[in-house]
Structure 1
Amino acid sequence: MKTTPFCLLLALFICFGCASEDEITAPDTINDSIYFPPLNSNEWQTIPISDLNWNENEVQPLLNFLEEKNTKSFIVLHNGKIVLEAYMNGHDETKLWYWASAGKTLTTAISGIAQEEGIININNKVSDYLGEGWTSAPLEKENLITCKNLLSMNSGLDDSLGDNVSKENLQYKADAGTRWAYHNVYKKMQDVVADASGETWNSYFETKLKNKIGMNGAWVALNEFNVYWSNTRSMARFGLMVYAKGKWETTQIVPERFLTEAVNTSQNINKSYGYLWWLNGKESYYLPSSQLEFNGNLIPNAPNDMYAALGKNDQKIYVVPSKKLVIVRMGDSASDVNFARSDFDNELWGKINALIN
């Protein structure tokens, strides 16, 4: 196991105020002091835990817990600077790992960029871009499905037929907007952007996002999925850009207004879901492969204003504006195979709270 050395820096105060349940926004002054690592360098400033008045005695218990739970890498950023960085279980800072469904939020970001450029409108029906007949649903039902429905997981298409997104496998279940179901059909947004831009998904992604924030990695087609792989710091770079309200230094990468929509409730069924982002602090939530509504917070131990990119086998990006935190976890499943939220989230936040409070 390896952790980064800590360097001295002026202490920063942590804002403990919680955003309202209706809307999650970062503090207005967030970009005034945020640190961004250089684009073409491995340099990344650090800040010692002692400067933040965190409980240093809880560092090792947290790292022990992570290692026991099959973690490969873990990073904590405070206002952009690295507080804690650890690699374990045979992993290191140069190795790539898959984002799984945490990478859905990359599609969200690109959709916002494409809309800002005027080549798509998420309120338009998907068939405006892919043509009629992209599903097997009756035409009048297919034409109800907007790009926003794909980003919000309420397309109404049948999620019980598996992850294949060919026309034959995309069948009508309910009218768009009336049923929330976690479904791989979101991937059609990548086709929408490619069609509208006249570029491949990969090239548009690289020029509009990846290169602008200094990420490494690549999309890899795996069976029915298009999965992003990168090193851990690249995942942290993306989380940092989102935390900074879509900016990288002085450049607006993802429109702030769109990003604010993305990290707030996007439909009236699963209150804990935005545009492919999971939201904490809401009154109820749904989980993948279920039509049951659960009462309470998605992750009770986490701050109410936290939003998260969650992927299979516990790939995580947590963003907490009120505490100026971005936290990344990559690795194998902490316990049982899961597709998004797991019991590990709440256990991990119990350990994080012991450190930061």
Structure 2
Amino acid sequence: MKLKSLLFVLACFSMIACGQDDSGENPQTESPSSPESMYFPPSNSDVWETKSVSSLGWHQEKIQDLLNYLQQKNSKSFMILQNGRIVMENYFSGHTATTPWYWASAGKTLTSTVTGIAEQEGFLNINNKVSAYIGTGWTSAPLAKENLITCKNLLTMTSGLDDSLGDDVSPANLKYKADAGTRWAYHNVYVKLQDVVAAATGQTWTQYFNTKLRDKIGMTGNWVQSGDNSVYWSTTRSMARFGLLALNNGNWNSNQIINSAYFQSATNTSQNINLAYGYLWWLNGKSSYHLPQTQFQFNGKLIPSAPDDMFCALGKNDQKIYVVPGKKLVIIRMGDAADNVNLALSDFDDVLWQKINAVIN
């Protein structure tokens, strides 16, 4: 009996030493399935890998309700990328994959990104005053007050200039309201960052933007002057390319277009007044937020139905780039105003996310 017990122990030891379990398989040599790699579409082609809804385990039966809602709410286009691959791409009311549309204030994030690129190349420092680059007298504020305004104040909407005077950014219309850094107000004065970049680099804004951002990630589109503002127009896929760059912290297929440290700062709370605002990016999941044209603080998340880690570019009449790092999602919506004309956030965002959640969760 002792001999049998000894032989049994030796046999077990031999199995363990060989890495076998009682199924006869060798777990040490099994290679677990590797996670799917992030996909980037070629920069010189509009070919784009796709992925089916069923392969993700999403709810196919909920898609039509989402599409019906998008069409009902005056959408032109809608796209979902997961890990860089197109899962949904839909166009409405005659809009097509090649039709350009305006980004409105969602394009503020382009200005934020290019400002960061200019800083990493040594042309500017966002902590320097704006007048160091474009000269004094760019506002009608007293010189001492104007010199308080840094590039970072423009990135964070804390210039202290009066936001009630409209989009005109001529000196006469940029009036002192409060010291820079003490008041958050959504203001068109951020466009002065484009002048800063142009002056600092010695190139036009468009030249620098095209070579340092647009062309590197295969975007198409152009800046179009609209009143006192320069508005970016592009296809939906070009907007999605920028969203994919954002999802990857400024990296495009192993090429770091903008340094990740700056991009992390851009997509996190940038000041202590509006917790839901970074460097011209909106942030979800914070305890409170402010909205354009009001000094009122709203308690709770920016978009309650959306993931807490989401950050987004929001433009007039419901132009949207939603970026959700935890789910590796980029979601694009272009179109006319879903309901009433608005500058950024609208009731449409939360209901849209309820419809999206029904599909993806």
State the TM-score, normalizing by the size of structure 2: 0.90
Q: Deviations over 1:188-237 (max 9, x none)?
A: 00000000000000000000000000000100000011000000000000
Q: CA deviation at 1:70?
A: 0.4
- Paired residue for 2:37? 33
Q: Aligned equivalents of 2:167 and 2:265: distance in 1?
A: 26
Q: Which residue number corresponds to residue 89 of structure 2?
A: 85
Paired residue for 2:136, among 110, 119, 132?
A: 132
Question: What is the alpha-carbon distance in structure 2 between the residues aligned to residue 170 and residue 12 of structure 1?
Answer: 55
1:46 is matched with which residue? 50
Amino acid at match of 1:235: M
Match of 1:166 in 2: 170
Task: Please name the residue that 1:108 is paired with.
Answer: 112
Identity of aligned residues (%): 65
Letter in 2 for 1:223: G
**CA offset digits 1:119-153 (Å, max 9, x no partner):** 01000000110111111111111111000000000
On the 8 A contact 1:243/1:319 being kept in 2, the answer is yes
> Is the Cα contact below 8 Å between 1:98 and 1:229 reproduced in 2?
yes
Note if contact 1:12-1:51 (Cα within 8 Å) is conserved in structure 2. Answer: no
What's the counterpart of residue 199 of structure 1? 203
Distance 2:198 2:332 in 1: 29
In structure 1, the residue matched to 2:305 is: 301
Contact 1:100 1:312 in 2 (8 A): yes
Aligned-pair CA distance for 1:12: 9.6
For 2:259, give the aligned amino acid: P
- Correspondence list, 1:305-320, <5 A: 305-320=309-324
1:42 Cα deviation (Å)?
A: 1.5
Question: Is contact 1:126-1:192 (8 Å) kept?
Answer: yes
Map of 2:291 onto structure 1: 287
Question: Could you list the runs of 5+ residues in structure 1 that have no partner in the other structure?
Answer: 1-10, 14-31
CA drift at 1:113? 0.3
Instruction: Determine the structure 2 residue equivalent to 1:152.
Output: 156
Corresponding residue pairs, total = 329
Mapped to 1, the partners of 2:203 and 2:244 lie a distance apart of: 27
**Structure 2 counterpart of 1:141, which letter?**
K
Output the amino acid matched with 1:296. Answer: G
- 1:39, CA displacement in angstroms? 0.9
Mean Cα deviation higher: 50-59 or 93-102: 50-59
- Looking at structure 2, the residues matched to 288 and 112 of structure 1 have their Cα atoms a distance apart, in angstroms, of 24
Between the aligned partners of 2:249 and 2:163, the Cα distance in structure 1 is 32
**Aligned with 2:244: secondary structure?**
helix
- Match of 2:17? none
Runs of at least 5 residues in structure 2 that lack an aligned partner in the other structure:
1-32
Instruction: Tell me the SS of whatever aligns to 2:264.
Output: helix
Whole-angstrom distance in 1 between the partners of 2:39 and 2:147: 44
Tell me if 1:269 matches 2:260.
no
Secondary structure in 2 matching 1:208: helix
1:82-125 CA-to-partner distances (Å, cap 9, x unmatched) read 00000011100010000000000000110110000000100000
Paired residue for 1:175, among 163, 172, 179?
179
Alpha-carbon separation, structure 2, partners of 1:165 and 1:210: 25
What's 2:214 paired with?
210
Could you say what the CA RMSD is over the residues aligned between the two structures, in angstroms?
A: 1.1
SS at match of 1:264: coil
- How far off is 1:311 after superposition? 0.1
Q: Secondary structure at the residue paired with 1:133?
A: coil
Q: Distance in 2 between matches of 1:12 and 1:318?
A: 27
In structure 2, what is the Cα distance between the partners aligned to 1:161 and 1:350?
Answer: 36
Q: Secondary structure at the match of 1:302?
A: coil
TM-score, L = length of structure 1: 0.91
